[in-house]
Amino acid sequence: MRVRILTYLFIAIGTVAGFAQNSISLEQATDGTFRAKSVRSLNWMNDGQFYSALSDNKIIKYSVRTGEEVETIADGNALDIKIASYSFSDDESLVLIMTDRESIYRRSYTAVFYLFDRESNDLRKLSDGRQSYATLSPDNTKVAFTRDNNLFYVDLSSGNEVAVTNDGKFNYIINGSTDWVYEEELYLTQAFAWSPDSKRIAYYRMDESGVREYNLQLWKDGANYPVDYRYKYPKAGEQNSMVDIYVYEIASQNKVKADIGSDTDIYIPHIYWTKNSELLAIQRLNRLQNQLDILHVNVKTGNSNVILTDKSDTYIHFTFCDDLTYLDNGKQFIFSSEKSGYKHFYLYNMDGSLVNQITQGDFEARTLVGLDQKKKLLYYSSTEDSPLEVHLYSVSFSGKGKKKLTQESGRHRLNMSDDCTYYMDYYSSASKPMTVALYETKGNKLIKVMEDNAKLAEKTKDYSFAEKEFFQIGNSNGDQLNGFFLKPGDFDENKQYPLLIFQYSGPGSQNVSNSWGGGHFVWHQYLAQNGYIVAVIDTRGTGYRGEAFKKTTYKQLGKYETEDLISTAKTLGGYSYIDKDRMGIWGWSYGGYMSSLCILKGNDVFKTAIAIAPVTTWRYYDTIYTERYLQRPQDNPSGYDDNSPNTHAEKLKGNFLLVHGTGDDNVHFQNSVALHEELLNAGKQFDSFYYPDKTHGLGGRRGHLYQMMTKFIMEKL
C-alpha cells in the first residue's frame, strides 16, 4: 500500500542559555492555563449574511462581512437562565434554548428547554419536568422531545402536550432515544426525526428487556449501604435490544411500523427523511457489521425496498453511516464507502444505481463539509496532502474540477454556511495554536480572524514548550509508523534520557498529526521539562491511511499494535540519546489495554507502564464495538483470549500502575479487578488505585491522577 507522508521536522526550541523563562507546574497541566480559546455554538443564519454564536451567556448575531456584532438575539443574563446551547426555528423567529443540562452517560442528557420569541421577547418554558433532545418541527408549530423513555410533542399554538408513546419504561422499552450501546458506539442519542412537511415523526422503539443488566455499586454521601445502579449493557456475544422503526402521523395519531426485514439481530445506525415526506430512508447493519443496507420505506404502508448494499470482508465503520445526503432534486443522493480501499463519496440515483464516484485517490475523503447544489459542488475535508493533515477541497458532482481551498500546513476543521458562501476555519499546526478565521468561499478570501490565540502562543514561548519533532519508524512488516517526540528544552544528544511512550492505538484513531496539542499535551510538556523524552506513536490499525492499514487488526485486536510498540521501543532504545533501560509506556482505555500488554509481552523492553481504565478482556466489553473488530466470542474465541492482558499476567517483571474508576459505565471496573486477580495469582507485585464512583474520564480527579502518575514515573522510570 502506498501512503504519502509529508515530512515535518520541528526542532525543539530553546538552548541551554536561553531555555526556561518559566517552568510548567504540575497544577497547570490540568487547570486550563494553556487551553486554547475558540468560537463555539456557531449557527449560520438563513440569509447567508449573518451568523450567531454563544458568548457570555448571550446569543449574539454577527455580520459575516465585517465579523462585527449587530444584535443580541437573547440575553441569558437578562432572562435569568444559563444558556447551554440553542437552535433556531426554520424561519428564525423562534429560538429553542437548552438550560440546566445534566448528563446521563457520555452523550445522553436531560435538560430544561425554553422557547424564546424574537419578535415579542417572550420566554416560555417548553414543558414541566426535564426533557431530552427537544426539536422544532420544520413548520415551527411543534416541538418534539423525549422524557422517561417516551416520545412527546408540544403544540405551540395551544400549549397542549401530546404523548406519542406511553409504554416506555426504564430498562425495558425506549421510545425516541437509544440504549447505552447505541449511544456509546453509534453516537446516536436522539432517535426521532420530523418529516419535511411536519406531518409525521419517525422514531425508534427499542425493546431492551432481554438485554442483561450490569450492576454498578455507587458509594455516595457516606450512606451505610451502597446504591445499586442497574442498567442494560450487552457484552460481546450477548443479546442486544430489539429495534423497530415507527412513523407517527400527527393528524390521525396512527402509527405505521416500517418493514426492516425478518432478521431481528441487527442494528439501525440511522434513519433519514428523504426530500419526499412519504419516503423514509433506513440504514440497516447486520450483527457482524460487514453489510450495510439502505432501505427506502413507504411511510403510509411501511413497505420497504433495499436500494443499496455496501459490503466488506472485514467491517463497515459506523461513521460512514452518517454520510448519506439526499439532494434537493429528489432524484439522487450522496453516500460514502471504503470499497475502493479509502473512504470516498459516490453519487447515486434514488433507485440505488451508481451515477459516478465523486472523490477518488489514495487518501481519505474524511467529511462532507458542504453541498452547493445549484453549482453541483461538493466541499469535503481530505488527507490528500498527508495523513497528518486535513484540508478543505471542492469538486464537482461529476468528480471533475477538484480544488484545494486551505493552504496552511496543518489540520483544518471546517464549518460551512448552508449556502456554501462562507466557512469558518478552525486551524492549527504543530507549531501554532488554533486560529479561528472566517472566509468567503469564492476566491477563498479571508474576512476576519475571530480568534488567533496569540496570547496562548506567547505564553507557550514564555514557558518554553517543546515543539513536536515528527519522525517515521519502520515496523517488522515494513510499514512506516508515524510518531513525534517532545524533548527537554536543554536537550543534548550526547546525554541519555528516559523515554515515555504515549499511545491510544484503537481502530481508526490518530494521535500523531500536524496539529496543536493533543491528548495530555501539557502534562507531557511538564515531563519533558523534567528531563524525559515523550514519544507519541500511531500503530497499525490507526486511521486515515486507508482501509488496509486500519483493518490489519481485524479479528486479533492487540496483536499487531503490541508488536509495533515493542519494536518501536527497541528501535528507539538504540538511539544514542535514549536510555534503553529506562523506557516506559502509558495509555487510557484502549491505550491502557495496550500499555498493559506491552509491560507483559515486552517485559524485556519496558521498565514501567501505566494503564488507566483499561480493557483487559474483550469478553467484558460491549457488542457493537467489540464484535465489529473481533466478531463474537462464539465465532473467534482465540481473538478474545490470545491478546488479553489477563492471559499474560505471569510475564510481569517491571513497574505497573493500574488505575480505574469504580463507577465506569463504559469500561467496567470489572476489567481491572480481573487483571488484578490474575496478577495476584501469579504472585506479582504491582501498584493499583481506584477512584470511587468515577466514570471513564475520571472527571473531577484529573489533578490527583496527574500527581500520582508523575510521582510513579519519577520514582519508577
- pLDDT at 345 (0 to 100): 97
Ramachandran quadrant class, 299 (left: phi over 0; alpha: psi -120 to 50; beta: rest)? alpha
**Cβ contact 484:388 at 8 Å:** no
CA distance 378 to 44: 18
- Kind and range of the H or E run holding 550: helix 547-550
Look up residue 576 and give its three cell numbers.
544514542
Rg (CA), the chain: 26
Please, what is the average pLDDT of the chain?
94
Look up residue 68 and give its three cell numbers.
462585527
Residue 481: is its pLDDT beyond 70? yes
Closest CA to 594 of 623, 569, 625, 631: 569
- pLDDT at 662 (0 to 100): 97
Closest CA to 597 of 563, 572, 630, 550: 563
DSSP state of 463: T
- pLDDT at 661 (0 to 100): 98
CA distance 434 to 452: 7
Look up residue 279 and give its three cell numbers.
419516503
335-339-344 Cα angle (round to 5): 45
Please give the average per-residue pLDDT across 643-666, as a whole number: 98
CA distance 536 to 504: 9
CA distance 32 to 29: 7
DSSP letter string, 193-224:
EE-TTSSEEEEEEEE-TTSPEEEEEE--TT-S
- pLDDT at 40 (0 to 100): 80
Residue 9: is its pLDDT beyond 80? no
Residue owning grid cell 510498540: 565
CA distance 354 to 361: 18
- pLDDT at 221 (0 to 100): 76
Burial class (CB in 10 A: 0-12, 13-18, 19+), 255: middle
Q: How far, CA to CA in Å, does 193 sit from each of 546, 607, 643?
A: 33, 53, 42
How many CB atoms lie under 10 A from the CB of residue 321? 23
- pLDDT at 42 (0 to 100): 85
Closest CA to 541 of 601, 585, 475, 624: 475
* 55-69, 264-278, 460-474, 626-640: segment of lowest average pLDDT: 55-69
Q: List phi, psi (to 5°) of 431.
A: -110, 5
Look up residue 235 and give its three cell numbers.
457484552
48 or 593, greater pLDDT: 593
| CB-based contacts of 4, cutoff 8 Å, min separation 6 | 362, 363, 385, 386, 387
- Over the range 667-690, which residues count as b (16 or more CB within 10 Å of their CB) and which as e? bbbebbbbbbebbeeeeeebeeeb
Residue 7: is its pLDDT beyond 90? no
| CB-based contacts of 495, cutoff 8 Å, min separation 6 | 577
Handedness of CA 48, 53, 59, 61 (dihedral sign): negative
DSSP letter string, 260-294:
--S--SEEEEEEEE-SSTTEEEEEEEETTS-EEEE
- Over the range 392-429, which residues count as b (16 or more CB within 10 Å of their CB) and which as e? bbbbebebeebeebbeebbbbbbbbbebbbbbbbbbbb
- pLDDT at 170 (0 to 100): 97
- Kind and range of the H or E run holding 713: helix 702-716
* pLDDT, tens only, 524-561: 999 999 999 999 999 999 999 999 999 999 999 999 99
| CB-based contacts of 267, cutoff 8 Å, min separation 6 | 182, 186, 240, 243, 284, 285, 286, 287, 289, 624
Q: Using H for helix, E for strand and C for coil, what is the string for 607-635?
A: CEEEEECCCCCHHHCEHHHHHHHHCCCCC
Q: How far is CA 471 from the centre of its chain?
A: 26
* pLDDT, tens only, 312-371: 999 998 766 668 999 999 999 999 999 999 999 999 999 999 999 999 999 999 999 999
Q: What 3-state class would DSSP assign to 419?
A: coil
* pLDDT, tens only, 172-222: 999 999 999 999 999 999 999 999 999 999 999 999 999 999 999 999 877
CA distance 460 to 495: 25
- Over the range 132-170, which residues count as b (16 or more CB within 10 Å of their CB) and which as e? bbbbbbbebbbbbbbbebbbbbbebeeeeeeebbeebee
Please give the average per-residue pLDDT across 102-127, as a whole number: 96
- pLDDT at 74 (0 to 100): 97
How far is the first Cα of the chain from the last one, in angstroms, to the nearest whole number? 38
- pLDDT at 660 (0 to 100): 98
Task: Supply the pTM of this predicted model.
Answer: 0.94
Residue owning grid cell 487488526: 553
Residue type (1 letter), 125:
K
Active site residues: 589, 664, 696
Closest CA to 503 of 431, 606, 355: 606
At residue 2 the predicted structure's pLDDT band, cuts being 50, 70 and 90, is very low
